[in-house]
Each structure stands twice: as structure tokens, then as C-alpha cells.
Amino acid sequence: MRGMSTQTRSHSTGRKKSRGNARRGSGKNRGQVEQIGTSVLQFEPRQISITVPVPTNSPNEWVWKHWSKYRDIKKGWLSRLHAASIHHCGVGKFGHPVENASLTIERRGIKELDEDNLKGGVKPVIDSLIQLGFLANDTPDVIQVMDVFQTSVGTYDEQETRITLIERSHETR
């Protein structure tokens, strides 16, 4: 069965061993960093950090334009985030969509955006995280803490977006 862990008995010790699988987030990826193309995916217990080598878009690129412009931007983010997480099998670090999250997005770009464009520009990123199964949805009940900030960089090669998703315990609701 997919998504289920199995248990076997060790012949030498008689103790149970648990063999989880990658969909449940147990095992080999904890505490490791993988380089996937130009994106970096870092795994830690109860947290996932993704670095994508482009800054978030300004909503001025799609507002008041044909709906297909936003669709194209969203597809671009979907493919970038999927490429960063493809080696992790399934819906991400947690084995299920997160329903109690803390989300931090850092935009590192040459041109700084005003506050409205900075916060609105993360919409395609959040939509892609939902579509890939990292988040259940984008309501305040699910994303309880969201921090979006930006840092100026000097060259185009330094531009990137850093996304950190942490599953919060139910006691912190």
C-alpha cells in the first residue's frame, strides 16, 4: 500500500524495525541538502527550505492583463518548485499537505518592490505550493504565520527566492 510504513522483526535482535517510505517523510532525506539543477532543496525534520534562482514577480506583470499572463507566471513557478522537490517523492517533506504552517518567503532582487507588490507577488508561489501538495490551502487557518520580506542584491546572478515552510504543532494554534 502506498503511503504506509511496514514493520519487520530483526532476526538477530528480535526487536521491531520500522521501514518507512519516502511519502511519509521518514528516512534518508532528513538533514540533507540536494542540488537539483540550479535549485536547492534542504530537508530538516518538520521543515522544508527551497531556493529558486529567480525573484518573485511583481503583480504589475499580470494585473489588468489577459488572464493567460497570470497562468503563465503560475506555471513557471509550479515547474520551478516541482523541479526542486521532484526527488522527494510525493507531496513533500510532511507526507501530507500541511494544515498548520509558518511560511517565510525572502525575495532577493536587484529592484526592490513596494510593500503591496512584494506581498502580492508571492501569490503564484503559494498557489504552486498548494498545487504540489505542500499546503492544504491558503486560508489564515492553514498559513497561520506568513513573513514576506526582500533583500537587495548587487548582480543578476544573486537574484533568488528563498521559501521556508515549517509545520507548526497543533498546540501553537
Please state the domain count of the chain. 1
Using the predicted structure, report yes or no on whether residue 132 has a pLDDT greater than 50.
yes
Tell me the per-residue pLDDT of 20-50, one tens digit each, with 9 for 90 and over.
333 333 344 444 555 555 565 554 446 888 8
- Confidence category of residue 107, pLDDT binned at 50, 70, 90: very high
> Is 14 among the domain residues?
no
Tell me the per-residue pLDDT of 54-96, one tens digit each, with 9 for 90 and over.
999 999 988 888 999 999 999 999 998 888 776 444 445 556 7
> Is 17 among the domain residues?
no
Tell me the per-residue pLDDT of 5-22, one tens digit each, with 9 for 90 and over.
333 333 334 444 333 333
> Is 56 among the domain residues?
yes
> Is 100 among the domain residues?
yes
> Is 140 among the domain residues?
yes
> Is 74 among the domain residues?
yes
CATH classification of the domain holding 165 = 3.30.1330.70
> Is 26 among the domain residues?
no
CB 77 within 8 A of CB 125: yes
User: What domain range is 101 assigned to?
Assistant: 31-172
Q: Kindly report the CA angle at 91 between 131 and 59, in degrees rounded to 5?
A: 30
Using the predicted structure, report yes or no on whether residue 143 has a pLDDT greater than 60.
yes
Its pTM stands at: 0.69
> Is 19 among the domain residues?
no
Q: Kindly report the CA angle at 107 between 126 and 112, in degrees rounded to 5?
A: 125
